[in-house]
Amino acid sequence: MTRTTHRLLTVFSSPIGILAVVACLALLFLAVFAPIIWGAAAAATDTDQLSRGPSAEHVFGTDGSGRDILLRTLVATRLSVVMALTATVAGVVGGVLVGLLPLIVGGRIGRWIVAAINIGVAFPSLLLAIAFSVILGQSGTAATLAIAIAMVPSYGRLTHNLAASVWGRDFVSAARVLGVPEWRSVFRHVLPNVRDPLLVNAAITAGNALLAFAGLSFLGLGIQVPEYDWGRMLNEGMTRIFVTPAAALVPGAAIILAGLTFVLLGEVLGQALTPASRGRITRRLRRLRPTSAAPADARPVDDDAVLSVRDLRVSAPGADEQWLPLVKGVSFDVGRGEIVGVVGESGSGKSVTLMAVAGLLDAPLHVEADAAHFDGAPLTLGTGARASSLDHRLGQRLAMIFQDPMSSLNPALTVGSQVAEPGLLHLGMSRAQARTAAIERLEAVRIPDAERRYSQYPHEYSGGMRQRAMIAAGLMGSPALILADEPTTALDVTVQAEILAQLRRVNEEHGTAIVLVSHDIAVITSLCTRVLVMYRGRLVEDVSTADLREGRATHPYTRALLATVPTMTTPRDQPMASIPDDADFSEGSPTAGVEVLRAADDPGLVEAFGDPDRVAEEIS
């Protein structure tokens, strides 16, 4: 039994849940069986009983044609409820599709759709329903369609706001790296995660639709004679309200009770599903494009490398229409079968560089590069510029492992189905073949009892197992490159060792190149053959691990990083070395690293930079 099912059973067994179930079952019974049981009696007229008050034969009296008011009200349940539910389903489905469309099409068209949704929300839904009902004509079908159209803007905005908050999650980015088309990512990965709040709102909206439909019939725009619903009966009863009040009060009470039933159902669903609060992510793309002052890298791309990038630049919009550079002209190559580490302090541009290479950066960030090649094919690097023609190739030859193992997998889908997805999308496998291959990959990354674990959800996995499952998903194809963005940061030391051993095993057995981002110099030097050092958006040094271990790094920032790593010989009676926030290692700065010497008494840093008195004397 899943946790959602358990919550539903718990809530529906409470007093309010039992009341909601009983009310819904009563409404369902009347909608299905009332016309069958009392249809003929409700239509029978009695000229001797015109507009009579309550009696033993007619509990609430009769209308102007001598028909029983109670029976007519019960029979009208079917038409009133069915029309309201039909309008709700059509309106919710239409609103969901419209709300998801901007994520699928993106760009200027997507922004126009969002603007149209916002304009539609500005008008009251009931006013829109009346306007469309007048345009479409006077009938029950036209009224249903009018109410559905009036719902679309509000549900479109709700869906778009919820979906946009999920669109930036790691598991969606992982799906895009695997080459999953935008529309498939939206319906498979985004929609299941916004389903619960939509269901809750749909239940409450059904009550509003019931009221709106009755209102249109009351105005003569809905159900027409000889058919009747609660709104039509209320219209007829208002003309004789001082003679037989029950003719208006009984259908009015039915509208209220049915509406409360749907609201009560929505309340219970809200308690059971407990949707998480979601923020709103704006997707604005400014027309202003940044200009880069970084000198172009004249080196041609290396066609023999699995990944070759020249002059990669990433900028973010700032104040006064100015652009803030995040990555400034980074160029590097990754050889086939090579393990390359990327180190640097937080904010130096490590993760942004990897995301730009994978095509996962969206507006308002701006990405550009002079040239790039991946696995022997040209690669266009830009904002959301992962070429659709390369989706198939990227899905097989590129894998990415994110920092947070929980958010890397879609919590609404089983782990096995997510591991099998590349096989279904890119390898032409059937579902049975993809399942078999996914179980084999899970076994290859040391997931115990892989066949049973295939059907489990991410929350049933430990942190290390989730990271290994992500590696398994990447191995469904034949990845030439794995981009690992701090894959061990959120894990304990024992699990870190398991993940690093697994990455090394993948490298040795499959010849897969790996780019590993980490803050841990010890991890980098133990696993990687070469290290890229980034500082404030620039690549300041490209050094082999052997040279790094032996202290042959040339850039002051690299040496400062090494000095902060404790060793077995580090004095325990002295403070650990650290780099102050105000340290300046900018290229061309004559005081590079001097602030460190002045601000700290750490012997490791003094050793890294030399005699502080001599340096200070040279600067003065």
CATH of the domain at 30: 1.10.3720.10
Which among 540, 563, 583 is the end of a domain?
A: 540
For residue 341, what is the domain's CATH number? 3.40.50.300
Q: Which domain holds residue 218?
A: 3-40+55-273
466 burial type by CB count under 10 A (0-12 exposed, 13-18 middle, 19+ buried): buried
291 assigned to some structural domain:
no
Q: Which range is most confident: 247-261, 264-278, 421-435, 596-610? A: 247-261
Say yes or no: 500 and 567 in one domain: no
For residue 329, the surrounding DSSP H or E stretch is strand 323-334
55-59, 91-95, 439-443, range with greatest mean pLDDT: 91-95
* Average of per-residue pLDDT across 464-488: 82
| Cβ burial 530-546 (10 Å sphere, 16+ → b, else e) | bbbbbbbbbbbbebebe
Distance CA 11, CA 266 (A): 12
Q: Tell me if 88 is assigned to some domain.
A: yes
Token reading at 284: 């604005």
> Considering the domain boundaries, does residue 36 fall inside one?
yes
**Domain identity same for 314 and 343:** yes
Residue 268 and residue 332 share a domain: no
- The pLDDT of residue 280 is 31
Asked if residue 144 and residue 254 are part of one domain, the reply reads yes
The verdict on 243 and 335 lying in the same domain is no
Per-position DSSP letters for 109-136, written without gaps between them: HHHHHHHHHHHHHTS-HHHHHHHHHHHH
Query: In the prediction, which pLDDT does 162 show?
Result: 86
Across the strands, what pairs with 334? 307
Instruction: Give DSSP secondary structure letters for 16-73.
Output: HHHHHHHHHHHHHHHHHHHHHHHHHHHH---GGGTT----SSSTT-B-TTS-BHHHHH
**Residue 289 domain flag:** no
Q: What span, in angstroms and rounded, lies between the C-alpha atoms of 278 and 541? A: 41
One domain for residues 440 and 536: yes
Beta carbons of 148 and 85 less than 8 angstroms apart: no
**The last residue of a domain, from among 508, 540, 572:** 540
By C-alpha distance, which of 416, 313, 444 is closest to 367?
A: 313
Alpha helices in 219-349 (DSSP H): 230-238, 246-273
Compute the distance between CA of residue 152 and CA of residue 531 in angstroms, rounded to an integer. Answer: 53
Whether the predicted pLDDT of 577 surpasses 70: no
> Who wins on pLDDT, 488 or 434?
434
Is residue 84 one of the residues assigned to a domain? yes
Q: Tell whether 292 is covered by a domain.
A: no
How high does pLDDT run on average in the chain?
A: 79
The pLDDT score that the predictor gives to residue 59 is 82
Residue 296: inside a domain: no
The sign of the CA dihedral 248, 250, 254, 260 is positive
User: Rounded to an integer, what distance in angstroms lies between the CA atom of residue 96 and that of residue 93?
Assistant: 5
Tokens for 449, please give them: 């009892």
Q: What pLDDT, on the 0 to 100 scale, is given for residue 351?
A: 87
At 328, which helix (H) or strand (E)? Answer: strand 323-334
Angle separating helix axes 431-444 and 463-474, nearest 10 degrees: 130
pLDDT given for residue 388 in this prediction: 44
Task: Flag the least confident range among 301-305, 373-377, 417-421.
Answer: 301-305
Mention every residue, 6+ apart, whose C-beta is less than 8 A from residue 478: 396, 397, 510
CA count, 13 A, side-chain hemisphere, 146: 27
What is the rounded distance in angstroms from the CA atom of residue 140 to the CA atom of residue 137? 9
**472 and 501, same structural domain?**
yes
Helix, strand, or coil (residue 214)? helix
Give the three-state DSSP class for 144.
Answer: helix
Residue 469's pLDDT band, with cuts at 50, 70 and 90, is: confident
Q: Does pTM surpass 0.75?
A: no
What pLDDT score does 405 carry?
64
pLDDT at 253 > cutoff 50: yes
Tell me how far apart the alpha carbons of residues 313 and 318 are, in angstroms, rounded to a whole number: 16
pLDDT at 138: 87
Tell me the chain's radius of gyration from C-alpha atoms.
Answer: 33
In a domain, 343, yes or no: yes
Instruction: Answer with the one of 221, 248, 273 that is the final residue of a domain.
Output: 273
Model pLDDT for residues 148-199, shown as the tens digit of each residue = 999 999 999 988 888 887 876 777 777 776 677 777 878 888 888 888 888 8
At 349-393, the pLDDT tens digits run 888 898 888 877 877 788 888 888 888 888 877 765 444 445 556
Same domain, yes or no, for 456 and 589?
A: no
Round to whole Å and give the CA distance between 543 and 530: 6
> How many folded domains does the chain comprise?
3
Q: Which range among 116-125, 497-506, 560-569 has the greatest average pLDDT?
A: 116-125
Same domain (yes/no): 258, 339:
no
337 lies in the same domain as 387: yes
On whether both 220 and 318 belong to a single domain, the answer is no
Are 60 and 54 spatial neighbours (Cβ–Cβ below 8 Å)? yes
Q: How many C-alpha atoms does 549 have within 13 Å on its Cβ side? A: 12
How confident is the model over 479-517, as pLDDT tens digits?
A: 889 888 888 776 677 777 877 888 888 888 888 899 999
Do 525 and 476 belong to one domain? Answer: yes
3-state secondary structure (DSSP) of residue 104: helix
Neighbours of 240 (CB within 10 A): 15
